[in-house]
Structure 1
Amino acid sequence: MTRPEEELIVISGASTGIGAATARKLASRGYHVLAGVRSDREGDAIRGARIEPVMLDITVGEHVRALAARVSGDPRRRPLRAVINNAGIEINAPVEVLPLGIWREHFDVNLFGHIAVIQALLPALRRSRGRIVNISSVGAEAVLPIYGAYAGSKAAFESASDALRREVSAQGIQVVIVQSGGVQTPMADDSGPRALELAARMNEEHTALYGRLISSTVRFQSAFLHRAITAEKAATTIARITTTRRPRIRYSLGSDAALTLPLNRLLPARLMDRVLSR
């Protein structure tokens, strides 16, 4: 059996939050982690024993190609144990209000960027019979008001992950989806103020239609985040999923995901509409 120190793991979005905590957790277990960051400052912050920062904006083709070259050209010829696709953005507003440019940004980062990384690293994963761990969201199935762009991009990512799993299983590559609920991260902390900032720029008609809905949804999410799991606890679970011998196809992460996902699958859609709209 290959020892952890003889294997590579790639994590995108590793500068803060779940990505950074997972990088540190896996490095503490002996793996050599290639931690995707978007600036030298972020790289200096995450750099450590068995953590090697790599410049990785997953929407930039040059970065993705350089990552693939780093993996295939590893000086110690270490195999690629896993790729954890964690990078993401979340900017929330009603479907009618959110600018199309921000819709496209969600899909560029939360879907197309991950597909680019997967395409670039599949040859290495084929050689190692490695694993892809895609970090999704409970919102891919149970969508709160104003979360349309974020949830839509995550739902598309999950559908692509299902197709990928069925395409590569015969090649020895495992594909795992992690449906995350609320986690205390800088991205989550920033989502409420950004939603209110967008709301403040709405015209009078949109303010009358959506103002109360936005403010109540932001208040609910902000209150919930105080009770959400920490990034470190989420990282412990993701590290276990990444390294366990026989992973499941899907995992939920956090108590809210464990409750909401079964409810969404069991309750009539109109009843779930009323639950989530409140």
Structure 2
Amino acid sequence: MNNAGYGLFGAVEQIDADKARALFDTNVLGNLTVLRATLPALRASRGRIVQISSVNGRLAWASSGLYSASKAAVELAGEALAHELAPTGAKVTIVEPGLFATEFATSLDVVPPSDAYAPTVGQFLAHFSQLPASAFGNAESVADTIMAVTAMEEPPLRLGVGTDSVEGIRESLRSRAAELDLWASFSPEPADQPA
């Protein structure tokens, strides 16, 4: 299991370069460092790579822009890795948990929003801080899911874990498909090529 998770939340404009760099160093480059060190053995053993991402690797909300971008990088690197490893028999699964009761929420770096972002970032952060304990799933269920996936002969490439993750990803996909269809006419057909 490959997991690097540092939570940084705030308005994209207000997160300084040092904080953004630290986030990507941990969530993306830290993840790649572990992969590089373990891939020779995993290829040789036809092993399983379980990349821990987040529902935020598939969607973003006000305040999650840079965190979501870091997890999206993990998602796409993992997808490419799955294609690259296909002939070796090694398998990649990207796990996308939603909200679970872990220590992650207690160690977040939150950049308070300015007045310009109070209606969006501020409102989201206030709402999030008021979520009841029942909104957070049992973290042991994520571990159980990971164990089940690693035992599969043909595991999924991506796996949303938690109802909030599955529903959030599903709604994001619907919205993206509808937007793609709405604006498809802006993509001209390729010109006919001479014979």
Give TM-score scaled by structure 2 length.
Answer: 0.84
Structure 1's unaligned 5+ residue stretches are: 1-83, 200-205, 270-278
Deviation at 1:242, TM superposition (A): 2.2
How do 1:200-239 and structure 2 match up within 5 A? 207-224=114-131, 226=133, 227-239=135-147
User: When you count strand as a share of all residues, which structure comes out higher?
Assistant: 1
CA distance in 2 between counterparts of 1:252 and 1:95 reads 25
Q: Which of 240, 243, 246 is matched with 2:151 structurally?
A: 243
Find the partner of 1:119 among 28, 36, 47: 36
What CA distance in whole angstroms lies between the structure 2 residues aligned with 1:186 and 1:137? 15
Mapping 1:248-263, distance limit 5 Å:
248-263=156-171
Give the CA RMSD over aligned residues.
1.8
SS at match of 1:183: coil
Q: Deviations over 1:6-65 (max 9, x none)?
A: xxxxxxxxxxxxxxxxxxxxxxxxxxxxxxxxxxxxxxxxxxxxxxxxxxxxxxxxxxxx
Residues 2, 49 of structure 2: 8 Å contact kept: yes
Give the number of the structure with larger relative contact order, counting CA–CA contacts within 8 Å between residues 6 or more apart: 2
Unaligned runs of 5+ residues in structure 2 are 180-195
Superposed displacement of residue 133, structure 1: 0.5
14, 19, 25: which one pairs with 1:108? 25
Amino acid at match of 1:114: N
Q: Distance in 2 between matches of 1:110 and 1:225?
A: 27
Alignment of 1:31-50 (within 5 A): none
1:228 and 1:254 in contact (8 A); partners too: no
| Cα distance change on mapping 1:114 and 1:225 into 2, 3 Å | farther
Match of 2:94 in 1: 177
C-alpha distance in 2 between matches for 1:233 and 1:189: 20
Percentage identity across paired residues of the two chains: 33
Q: Say if 1:265 and 1:225 are closer, same or farther in 2 by CA, change over 3 A.
A: farther
Aligned equivalents of 2:127 and 2:116: distance in 1?
A: 19
Q: TM-score w.r.t. structure 1 length?
A: 0.60
CA shift in 2, pair 1:181/1:162, >3 Å: same
Contact 1:131–1:173, Cα closer than 8 Å, also in 2: yes
Equivalent residue for 2:67, pick from 150, 153, 157: 150
Partner SS, residue 103 of structure 1 = helix
Alignment-derived partner of residue 106 in structure 2 = 189
